Amino acid sequence: MLLRLQIEENMKFELDEITLAEMTKEARQCFLDEDAPEYICVLNTEIEKGYENANFTELLRAAHSLKGGAGIAQLFSIMELSHSFEDILAIIQKLPNSRTEEA
């Protein structure tokens, strides 16, 4: 049997500052300990392959995930840097290279 939870439109959830601060601290620590290193590893691995061999789908996915995780963790400098990097990768991805010219 499926359990369904419905939230009425007028129902509001309010968190006190202490609870919100604890949740943010936990999200930040999880991001820094688990998520960010994984995304950075993907970015490093693909960048080391060079322009011709890098998987830009993986690069963009990792940069996007890094941006989102940093936002949730309220690490706004990392979020902004990741956003800029994501934009740069999207531009580079559109440049012609020998793989697309040969196809």
The pLDDT tens digits for 83-98 are: 999 999 999 988 887 5
Tell me: pLDDT of 4 over 50. no
34/38 Cα distance (integer angstroms)? 7
Boundaries of every domain in the chain: 22-94
Burial class (CB in 10 A: 0-12, 13-18, 19+), 36: buried
52 contact partners, CB below 8 Å, separation of at least 6: 97, 98, 99
Query: Which of 16-20, 36-40, 76-80, 88-92 has the weakest average pLDDT?
Result: 16-20
Tens of pLDDT, residue by residue over 63-73, are 999 999 999 99
Q: What global pTM score does this model have? A: 0.76
- DSSP run (H or E) holding 16: none
